[in-house]
Amino acid sequence: MQLYSDDVRLPDGRQVEGYLHLETPGYAVIVPVDRQGHIGLVRSYKRGVDGVDVQPPAGVLDPGEAPLASAQRELREELGAEAQAWHPLGSYVLSGNYGAGQAHLFLATGCRTVTEPDSGDLEEQQVLWVPAETVREAWAAGAFRQLGTAAALGLALEHLRRLGEPGA
């Protein structure tokens, strides 16, 4: 993580001195959906929410790694799964004013378990395959506490609805 203080010229010509810019690594968030319309989630400790939380698989891009390759790796590591099809949901900065890294969001459909999960994370993780309607209700109620999770789930649920896929 690096914090910069830059002098920036705005489009209207004004100069802003000491405008902060935060650089953090990019990361991928994957919303995996199996053939029965269940969404794969991980229950684990997250420092940012200072407690146990539920979220789709996600992780930091390795240096030089493409976002899709990172998403495929994270799906295998955290859920032990592979997907039949990948649907990019967009790439977004976390803060319009400060940057703070880029989130690359994906929907992975036709998922199936191929191996035991092996995330290598510090905390024990529990894999949950939850009916999409249950996830949709939890999402609508504001139950997810991480912005990347809420955004990825909302975009994925809408994409599934438009595709008429299981889980829509």
Provide the CATH number for the domain around residue 138. Answer: 3.90.79.10
The answer to whether residue 134 sits within a structural domain is yes
The per-residue pLDDT for range 33-45, each reduced to its tens digit, is 999 999 999 998 8
Over residues 43-61, the pLDDT tens digits come to 988 888 787 889 999 999 9
130 domain-assigned = yes
Nearest one of 30, 45, 17 to 104, comparing CA atoms: 30
Count of domains forming the chain:
1
- pLDDT of 62 > 60? The answer is yes
pTM of the model: 0.88
110 falls within a domain: yes
At 152, the pLDDT band (50, 70, 90 cuts) reads: very high
Give pLDDT, residue 123: 60
- Domain assignment present for residue 19? The answer is no
* Spatial distance between the Cα atoms of 80 and 118, rounded to a whole number of angstroms: 7
Mean pLDDT for 127-153 is: 95
- C-alpha 166/C-alpha 112 separation (Å) is 14
Q: Helix axis angle, 147-163 relative to 132-140, nearest 10°?
A: 130
* Tens digits of residue pLDDT in 72-123: 999 999 999 999 999 999 999 987 777 778 999 999 999 999 988 876 665 6
What six digits make up the tokens of 162? Answer: 């438009």
Q: Which domain holds residue 50?
A: 25-93+102-163
Q: Is residue 144 part of a domain?
A: yes
Q: Classify 77 as helix, strand or coil.
A: helix
